[in-house]
Chain A
Amino acid sequence: MASIRLAVPDTAQRGETVEIKALIQHDMESGFRRGSRGEAIPRDIIVRFECRYDGAVVFAADFHPAVAANPILTFHLRATKSGPIDFEWTDQHGTQWQDQAVLEVI
């Protein structure tokens, strides 16, 4: 049950470049930590992020263990038409988290 926060403007001018932020709650266990008895704690991370808008993936990221916990991404997209912006995170086991925002283009 990961908390997700999105920062997407409500509206944008056609052709305007807008800033998007996406933050998800996740430990991003690196696999390099040891527990209190010295046992290795296995890696457990989100490996992929994708942002889809206007029918295409506009931005994606491959995460490795050095991405900080509760990963935040700030990126940009060009406003072309009104519609949903879909956000999807996938971890190394294939588990996915999704969220959506709507952008109105005027």
Chain B
Amino acid sequence: MIRAACLVLTALVCACQPVADKTPAAELSDEDIQSGYAFLNASIQALQDDDFGNPGLLWVDRGSDLFASTGETETACVNCHTDDTRGAAATYPKVDPISGKLLNLEGRINQCRTEHQGLPPLAHESDELLSLTAFVAHQSKGMTSKVVTTGPAAAAYALGRDYFLTRRGQFNLSCQQCHTENWGKQLRGDTISQGHGNGFPAYRLEWESLGSLQRRLRDCDMGVRAEPLPFGDETYIALELYLAARSQGLELESPAVRR
């Protein structure tokens, strides 16, 4: 009787944990890889391509000003980085050689602030952090991602990949199931994209604002009714690394416009 109860209890507990899919995971083939841009209608593509009216450029403009200004510090970003940060964003997320931590672009900007400018870190999704990230990411527009997934980054890459393949939430869906196995199919009024992050930080119509890739990942988790991780969580940064590697060959588009 007690044994039966224990078995039932164990079964219930196991059912509540997210289960990693044990079957070999399909990968996107090179010919199939498409940016989220390809899944937009013509009107929204036109908005992204609009060199004047793309709303994300409002943040890029502000970021450009912040990058060059001193404000409360004596060292403006431009003092060390000069005017040219082209290609920098394409290498993120990457492992910081000194701390050994995997950093995304936002983390790197905050590390610069605290270690080289004597400034407090900027809050997640704050207008200033978004503006600086948008500015730096925009300098790499048109380039392809050049992240490293081996050596010190290997563990994080595996963690990110595992998160992508694990079912979660009340809907019990993994990222893989929609974005690798069922992309191109209809879900309500939407066509499922491949879930790449090459357009971020992006202006999402749903937010009516520019936002980071992590904000989008939190929305993804909420979309399957899973508890989102807090901003800055190491798992999300690991997932960003996996996504960057998975989108090999796609050009960076920040600031993209997405639904």
Residues of chain A whose beta carbon lies under 8 Å from any beta carbon of chain B? 1, 3, 5, 7, 21, 23-25, 27-28, 68-70, 72
Smallest Cβ-Cβ distance to A28: which chain B residue: B208
- Which residues does chain B contribute within 8 Å of A25, judged by CB atoms? 55, 58-59, 62
Smallest Cβ-Cβ distance to A74: which chain B residue: B53
- Which residues does chain B contribute within 8 Å of A3, judged by CB atoms? 58-59, 61-62
B208 near A27: Cβ-Cβ < 8 Å: yes
Smallest Cβ-Cβ distance to A6: which chain B residue: B52
With known contacts A5-B58, A23-B58, A69–B53 Cβ distance under 8 A? no
User: Given the complex of chains A and B, what is the CA–CA distance between A68 and B61 in angstroms?
Assistant: 20
Report which residue of A5, A21, A27 has the largest number of chain B beta carbons within 10 angstroms of its beta carbon. Answer: A5
Report which residue of B57, B58, B59 has the largest number of chain A beta carbons within 10 angstroms of its beta carbon. Answer: B58
Interface readout for B38-63 with A: 1 if CB under 8 Å, 0 if not? Answer: 00000000000000110101110110
Query: Is residue B209 within 8 Å, beta carbon to beta carbon, of the partner chain?
Result: yes
Interface residue SS majority, chain B? helix
Residues of chain B whose beta carbon lies under 8 Å from any beta carbon of chain A? 52-53, 55, 57-59, 61-62, 127, 208-209
A23 near B53: Cβ-Cβ < 8 Å: yes
User: Given the complex of chains A and B, what is the CA–CA distance between A62 and B127 in angstroms?
Assistant: 27
Q: What is the minimal beta-carbon distance from A61 to any residue of chain B, in angstroms?
A: 16
Q: What is the minimal beta-carbon distance from B122 to any residue of chain A, in angstroms?
A: 14
User: Given the complex of chains A and B, what is the CA–CA distance between A21 and B59 in angstroms?
Assistant: 18
- Which residues does chain B contribute within 8 Å of A23, judged by CB atoms? 52-53, 55, 58
User: Given the complex of chains A and B, what is the CA–CA distance between A7 and B209 in angstroms?
Assistant: 21
Q: Which 8 A-B pairs have the closest CB atoms?
A: A69-B208, A3-B58, A25-B58, A70-B55, A3-B62, A7-B52, A3-B61, A72-B53
- Which residues does chain B contribute within 8 Å of A21, judged by CB atoms? 52-53
Smallest Cβ-Cβ distance to B66: which chain A residue: A1
Smallest Cβ-Cβ distance to B203: which chain A residue: A70
Smallest Cβ-Cβ distance to A29: which chain B residue: B208
Other than the known A5-B52, A24-B58, what 9 A-B pairs have Cβ atoms closer than 8 Å?
A: A1-B62, A1-B127, A3-B58, A3-B59, A3-B62, A21-B53, A25-B59, A69-B209, A70-B209
